[in-house]
Amino acid sequence: MQISLRPARSRNAPVLPLPAPLLASEGARVILGGDPGLDGLAAPIVPGPASLFGPRGACLAGPGGPLFVCDTGHHRVLGWHRAPATDGQPADFVLGQPDFSREGRNAKGEVTATSLNVPTGIAAADGILAVADAWNHRVLLWFGLPERGGRPADVVLGQADFSGGLINRGSDQAAADTLNWCYGVAIIDGRLLVADTGNRRVLVWDTIPTRNGTPADLVLGQRGPTIRDENAGAGANALGMRWPHGIAMLDGRILVADAGDNRVMVWNHLPRADGVPCDFMLGQADMAGVDHNRAAYYPTAGAMNMPYGLAVLQDRLVVADTASSRLLGFEAGGLAMGAEASRLAGQASFGDKGDNRWGFPARDSLCWPYNVAACENTLVVADSGNNRILLWEAAP
């Protein structure tokens, strides 16, 4: 007799129509990391060129590569010169550690231009690599994509120099040139955008900075650069944030995944002044909503539970609905207040949840997908709970 690992569905669970697939039904084309043991459980994770420990970010700089992965638990970034073509393909070089066998925060040493401490967000565009070095409270920039291990960063933001690693440079107050647990980063139309998560805001640089410690030009989520209050010091609203992470742009709209308030904030245009409220939200029915799954146990096509990652895949917005272990797809033309997703990956229906669908990892399952990045038809998924990266093609 076969025993199901999936719990019985409640009588109150929603019965929803099957959604259109977001990604190819056969699952990921390539899987990196996540090797299971003989019993189907994860093997001990020892740092090496093919192992990953809780990766929280990854991106392809182009269709053929290179690929960069924030191997967050090992405090390093792994690089592949070309987009991997086979499962488990080892990385070509490593940043943040002296070699593939080493791990530890800041390589168990001081904060430097070559060290990392919980690297999370990562973006590559226009020949620039940006890494949100979250627990050093800084963003590192490389001009010219790294091609070898140990290459130091060229510019640091959030700190005065490469030796700094304190929250807001040791001050109790935020500023336009400080950071606090920065978890997300994006390069969009020549601008740099950073989710300064601990300061409950997103910072925008109108051009990519070339000098250490350059202050940001714009603040979203707070009324000014020195304020760091949760939800801008009020109840949930259209201005403030609680736990911003992913950032994307779709058809000129700026989108921010506010994981702490279980929603995605949308500005129809990039504001020109600090503290401009967003125009509408996804994941909640109104601007005051903050509950996960809109206060229900089961998810729906219009609700979210700790959404961390955002990407634009072809003409669709992809949301990593992390705590429901699924990816939601929204058509660009259908974005509006509380809009429902039309496509899905990782679960069978919009009413389902559960890590790996309450089973073992599969090519088409997810466990706490932390971040997503798109490159043409390929979605790069940081499947953090499964200790792996997925290269997964878009569905027609």
Note down pLDDT in tens along the chain; length 396 residues: 333 334 444 445 556 567 999 999 999 999 999 875 545 555 668 999 999 999 999 999 999 999 999 999 999 999 999 999 999 999 999 999 999 999 999 999 999 999 999 999 999 999 999 999 999 999 999 999 999 999 999 999 999 999 999 999 999 999 999 999 999 999 999 999 999 999 999 999 999 999 999 999 999 999 999 999 999 999 899 999 999 999 999 999 999 999 999 999 999 999 999 999 999 999 999 999 999 999 999 999 999 999 999 999 999 999 999 999 999 999 999 999 999 999 999 999 999 999 999 999 999 999 999 999 999 999 999 999 999 999 999 999
Residue at 283: amino acid letter: G
The amino acid occupying position 164 is G
CA distance 148 to 309: 28
pLDDT at 71: 98
β-strand 155-157 against 93-95: which pairing, if any?
unpaired
Residue that is written with structure tokens 């998810």 in the block: 299
CATH code: domain 24-393 is: 2.120.10.30
Q: What per-residue confidence (pLDDT) applies to 39?
A: 55
Phi, psi of 357 (to 5 degrees): 55, 40
Contact 96, 115 (CB under 8 A): yes
Burial 215-243 (b: 16+ CB within 10 A, else e): ebbbbbbbbebebbbebbeeebebbbbbb
Structure tokens at 41: 């459980």
3-state secondary structure of 369: strand
Identify which of 313, 373, 367, 309 has the alpha carbon closest to the alpha carbon of residue 69: 373
**Helix (H/G/I), strand (E/B), else coil: 136:** helix
pLDDT of residue 45: 86
Q: Which residue has the tokens 């500023």?
A: 175
Q: Write the single-letter amino acid at 39.
A: D
pTM comes to 0.94
pLDDT at 7: 40
**What pLDDT is attached to residue 18?**
79
| Backbone CA torsion sign across 266, 372, 20, 377 | positive
Q: Among 258, 249, 254, 250, which Cα is nearest to 201's?
A: 258
Count the Cβ atoms, other than its own, within 10 Å of residue 211: 8
Measure the CA–CA gap between 370 and 89, rounded to whole angstroms: 21
What is the distance between the alpha carbons of residues 281 and 106, in angstroms, rounded to a whole number? Answer: 38
What pLDDT score was predicted for residue 326? Answer: 98
pLDDT of residue 36: 58
* Residues near 38 by beta carbon (within 8 Å), at least 6 away in sequence: none
Is residue 260 within a helix (H) or strand (E), and if so which, with residue range?
none
